[in-house]
């Protein structure tokens, strides 16, 4: 792409630079330049503040009949940002600064004023010492006294710095790091110990749970074996003593119905069984009489039906059991009366 950027120009063979007309520009001509405000200022017309560094399109011109050691001085024209009033300032090469001319006032000149005051005092002192030798001696005495005070203050500062230098900051930092390291190790050990204790507690709990589960399984298996060995109908064939012994041994006792508690059974040893008396047959009475033959089958059948009802239908009503027992009592009483006759 360099061939497109042509820097040389073509001059024909008959080119004569003397024929080019010269521009006659005035010496005080002005140029438009872009600059920034060199200091903080305030407009005199509207009171607008213009801070340092604000950019302006200014007109620049050379000040006529003013030079500083052969250096020209330039003047700049700007306009206020609010009221468009013209503000001018120029360069000050003697103080390496800018000087305000008109249209605004400069703000924050404390440093500059102090420097000017110091220069003024120094100039007055030199003028006094020029024609008064006693003033020179007095000024020297003051300077020596001031120098001694400065040296004393400097010595005090050095001693103070030496006292502070005795403190071993590196050692303090090392000790602090060592303490911090020990604290971290201690916290780590405590965490490990707590973790170990928690794991041990969990392990013991699991072992206890497993033992309890095994005991429960053994107990349930033993109960199932006993329940399988015992039949539900065994309670009907066993005697009361067997049932009591089994209940004392740990086996569950059979449930007694309410009618059995109130009336009882004929084959048991209840209150009604004592009222029934059975006659023992003798050797002489081989053949029963006609009345016995007629009554005995009825009594036997009634006794069988009563016993059968008591065993086979335990949930019958109390009134039926009572009537059957009374009929049996009447039959036995009739048979006994016949025998006695």
Burial of 216 from C-beta contacts in 10 A (0-12 / 13-18 / 19+): exposed
Q: What pLDDT is attached to residue 301?
A: 46
Q: What pLDDT is attached to residue 248?
A: 47
Burial of 251 from C-beta contacts in 10 A (0-12 / 13-18 / 19+): middle
Contact 103, 90 (CB under 8 A): no
Q: What pLDDT is attached to residue 57?
A: 96
Whole-prediction pTM: 0.35
Nearest to 50 by CA among 103, 112, 111, 101: 103
Q: What is the DSSP letter of 26?
A: -
Helices H / strands E in the chain, number of each: 8, 8
Q: What distance in Å separates the CA atoms of residue 76 and residue 30, rounded to the nearest whole number?
A: 9
Q: For each of the chain's 341 residues, which pLDDT tens digit applies? A: 556 777 788 899 999 999 999 888 888 889 999 999 999 999 999 999 999 999 999 999 999 889 999 999 999 999 999 999 999 999 999 988 899 999 999 988 777 788 889 999 999 988 888 888 888 899 899 999 999 999 999 999 888 887 766 667 788 889 999 999 999 999 999 999 999 999 998 888 888 888 787 777 777 777 666 555 555 565 555 544 444 444 444 445 555 555 555 555 545 555 555 555 566 665 554 454 444 444 444 444 444 444 444 444 444 444 555 555 556 665 555 555 555 54
What torsion do the CA atoms of 234, 235, 241, 242 make, to the nearest 10 degrees? Answer: 30
Contact 98, 38 (CB under 8 A): yes
Nearest to 296 by CA among 267, 341, 334, 340: 334
Q: For the chain, give percent helix, strand, coil, nearest 5.
A: 55, 15, 30
Q: What is the DSSP letter of 53?
A: T
DSSP string, 81-116: TTT--EEEEEEETTTTEEEEEESEEE---HHHHHHH
- Spell 312-331 as b/e; 16+ CB within 10 A means b: eeeeeeeeebeebbeebeeb
Q: What pLDDT is attached to residue 36?
A: 96
Q: What pLDDT is attached to residue 111?
A: 77
Q: What pLDDT is attached to residue 253?
A: 55
Q: What pLDDT is attached to residue 101?
A: 93
Q: What distance in Å separates the CA atoms of residue 49 and residue 107, rounded to the nearest whole number?
A: 9
The response to whether 228 counts as a known ligand-binding position is no
């Amino acid at each position: 792409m360099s061939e497109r950027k042509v820097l040389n120009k073509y001059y024909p063979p008959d080119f004569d630079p003397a024929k080019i007309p010269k521009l006659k520009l005035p010496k005080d001509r002005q140029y438009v330049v872009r600059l920034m405000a060199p200091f903080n200022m305030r407009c005199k017309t509207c009171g607008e503040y213009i801070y340092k560094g604000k950019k302006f399109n200014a007109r620049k011109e050379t000040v006529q009949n003013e030079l500083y050691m052969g250096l020209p001085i330039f003047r700049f024209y700007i306009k206020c940002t609010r009221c468009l009033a013209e503000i001018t300032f120029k360069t000050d090469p003697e103080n390496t600064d800018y000087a305000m001319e008109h249209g605004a006032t400069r703000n924050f000149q404390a440093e500059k004023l102090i420097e000017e005051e110091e220069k003024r005092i120094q100039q007055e002192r030199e003028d006094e010492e020029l024609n008064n030798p006693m003033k020179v001696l007095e000024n020297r005495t003051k300077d020596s006294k001031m120098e001694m005070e400065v040296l004393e203050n400097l010595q005090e500062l050095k001693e103070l710095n030496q006292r502070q230098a005795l403190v071993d900051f590196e050692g303090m930092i090392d000790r602090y790091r060592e303490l911090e390291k020990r604290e971290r190790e201690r916290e780590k050990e405590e965490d490990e110990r707590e973790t170990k204790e928690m794991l041990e507690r969990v392990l013991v709990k699991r072992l206890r749970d497993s033992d309890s589960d095994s005991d429960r399984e053994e107990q349930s298996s033993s109960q199932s074996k006993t329940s399988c060995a015992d039949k539900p109908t065994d309670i009907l064939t066993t005697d009361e003593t067997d049932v009591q012994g089994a209940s004392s041994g740990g086996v569950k006792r059979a449930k007694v119905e309410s009618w059995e508690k109130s009336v009882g059974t004929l084959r048991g040893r209840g209150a009604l069984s004592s009222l029934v008396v059975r006659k023992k047959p003798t050797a002489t009475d081989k053949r029963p009489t006609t009345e016995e033959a007629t009554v005995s089958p009825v009594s036997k059948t009634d006794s069988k039906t009563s016993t059968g009802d008591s065993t086979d239908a335990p949930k019958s009503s109390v009134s039926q059991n009572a009537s059957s027992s009374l009929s049996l009592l009447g039959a036995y009483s009739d048979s006994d009366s016949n025998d006695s006759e």
